[in-house]
Amino acid sequence: MAKYQDSGTGSSDGATANDSIAELVRLAGPRPAVPPHVEQRVYTAVRNEWRSTVRQRHTLRWGLPFALAATIVLAVTLMSRAPEVRVTPIATVALVDGNGGLSVGDSIYPGNSLATGASGIALTMNNGLSLRMAAGTAVTFDSMKELTLRSGRVYVDTGQSVYGDPSLAVHTSVGSARDIGTRFAVAFVDGDMRVAVREGRVDVAGKQGSYTAEAGEVLTLQPDADIARGKISVYDSSWDWAAALAPAFDIENRSLLDFLKWAARETGKELVFEHDAARLAAMKTRLHGSVAGFTPTEAIAPVLSTTSFGYRVRVDEQQIVIADAAN
């Protein structure tokens, strides 16, 4: 069996190989000399390649730890930064009757507590609902659909669409009132809760049980007494404070009929046209300007004075009547 031996051992096999190589070199003859410029080019290329290799090794050796360190710092920074939380307002101040410390356009957020002091305030909730607070009222806004009435009076108007999406539950220490598409008021004074329904229906829950109040009804809840029921008309004077806080109707380029319907709804009065021609005339009459600063009843005369409407408007306790000018 043949055995491998290193050529540096001086064996006869190694000598034979060296003699063969020498003979081949002799037969090939003398090699031509390498030109100096070629030798220089080869030398330069080899040197540049060597330097490049050395630089890459240094870059890998030092750059990798720095890159890893930078990644770790970035990760720690991102993890230590508190997540950004954006709270969306649930209501906007629409009217301030007096100097209540708030201004029209101010935002109300969940968790805010508000005391009206000597001023009444009207809010427009983000779902379109109108919320009005009388002077001397204190509330906490639990959410856009829940509030706690600590004292005073609030009025809720969910809009023209009965049984629509906008709704609000008003809580007190005595009970809760939740509307079903309606207009209603809740008063909480001296520990008694009073719920008056102007339109629609309100579900009321107290310690003694659950009840339903229909339009024209008043429910009174006391801490240690049975619920009491009463009656109230849509034009009762007890609603006047809420009408006074009604956000101004935008009359610009609206019809007189639209304005009169708004005034009738806010005051609880019935709008009556003695003739179809009067209704048609009110529909065709366009308005311009503003009724800001006027209550719904106060605004009727100034609005009519800016038009050529040929009929007389008469306002009594229960009705707004559009009649012939001669009547």
97 located within any domain: yes
- Same domain? For 114 and 216 the reply is yes
Instruction: Say whether 299 sits in a helix, a strand or coil.
Output: helix
Q: Which of 87, 189, 95 is nearest to 144 (CA)?
A: 87
- Same domain? For 155 and 182 the reply is yes
pLDDT at site 117: 87
Q: What confidence tens digit (pLDDT) does each residue in 2-54 have? A: 333 344 444 445 455 455 555 544 554 555 555 555 455 545 654 565 565 54
- Same domain? For 202 and 261 the reply is no
Domain end residue (candidates: 175, 203, 237): 237
- Contact (CB, 8 A) for 112 and 99: no
67 located within any domain: no
- Contact (CB, 8 A) for 181 and 161: yes
Q: What confidence tens digit (pLDDT) does each residue in 166-198 have? A: 789 999 999 999 988 789 999 999 999 999 999
25 located within any domain: no
Question: How confident is the chain (327 residues) per 10-residue block, as mean pLDDT?
Answer: 40 50 52 54 55 52 49 49 74 86 91 92 93 96 95 91 70 93 93 95 90 95 89 96 94 96 96 95 95 93 93 94 82
Alpha helices by DSSP H, listed for the chain, are 12-28, 36-80, 240-244, 256-267, 276-284, 296-305
Backbone phi, then psi, for 85, in 5-degree steps? Answer: -115, 125
Domain end residue (candidates: 187, 206, 237): 237
Which residue type sits at 181?
G
Number of Cβ within a 10 Å radius of residue 296: 23
- Same domain? For 171 and 107 the reply is yes
Domain around 277: 248-324
* Rounded alpha-carbon distances, angstroms, from residue 112 to 100, 102, 144: 15, 13, 11
- Same domain? For 160 and 137 the reply is yes
pLDDT at site 208: 81
36 located within any domain: no
- Same domain? For 162 and 286 the reply is no
- Same domain? For 96 and 220 the reply is yes
103 located within any domain: yes
Structure tokens at 50: 């060597």
- Same domain? For 294 and 179 the reply is no
- Same domain? For 171 and 191 the reply is yes
Domain end residue (candidates: 178, 213, 237): 237
- Same domain? For 203 and 268 the reply is no
- Contact (CB, 8 A) for 134 and 194: no
pLDDT at site 102: 86
CATH number, domain containing residue 217: 2.60.120.1440
Whole-model pTM: value is 0.72
Cα(282)–Cα(122) distance, integer angstroms:
29
Strands (E), the chain: 91-97, 107-108, 113-115, 120-125, 130-133, 138-143, 146-157, 169-171, 175-179, 183-189, 192-199, 201-206, 209-214, 217-222, 225-231, 270-273, 311-315, 319-324
Cα(165)–Cα(158) distance, integer angstroms:
9
Q: How far is CA 158 from the centre of its chain?
A: 18
* Rounded alpha-carbon distances, angstroms, from residue 151 to 107, 137, 185, 273: 22, 5, 13, 41
- Contact (CB, 8 A) for 323 and 311: yes
Cα(45)–Cα(41) distance, integer angstroms:
6
Split into its structural domains, the chain has a count of 2
- Same domain? For 233 and 252 the reply is no
